[in-house]
Amino acid sequence: MSSKKTIPCPICKKPVALAAPELPFCSKRCQLIDLGMWSDEEYRIVEPLNDFDAEGAPQRDDD
C-alpha cells in the first residue's frame, strides 16, 4: 500500500502531493488566485517587524 503524503491546497483545499511542482497549491489557477489576493491587499501582516542584528538578537533603543 503506497501512502503518499499530501497537504491541503490553501485555496481550494484539494490534497496536494509533496512532490507537486505547484506546491503548496494544487494548480496554476490556485497560484494565480493567491497572487491576486496579495495584490488586492486581502492578506496583511498585522504585527510590526522587529529589527534584528547580525546574530539574530533583537535590537533595543536605550535612549
Residues 40-51: tens digit of each pLDDT: 999 887 887 777
Give the position of cell 529589527: 51
Write the pLDDT tens digit of every residue in 23-34. 999 999 999 999
Bond before 24 cis per omega within 30 degrees = yes
| Res 1: pLDDT | 44
What number of other Cβ atoms are within 10 A of residue 27's Cβ?
A: 15
Give CA–CA dist 31/37, Å, rounded.
Answer: 10
Averaged pLDDT, 3-26? 93
Which architecture characterizes domain 6-39 according to CATH? 2-Layer Sandwich (3.30)
- Closest to 28 in 3D by CA, of 18, 39, 16: 16
Residue 46 pLDDT: 80
Residue for grid cell 503524503: 5
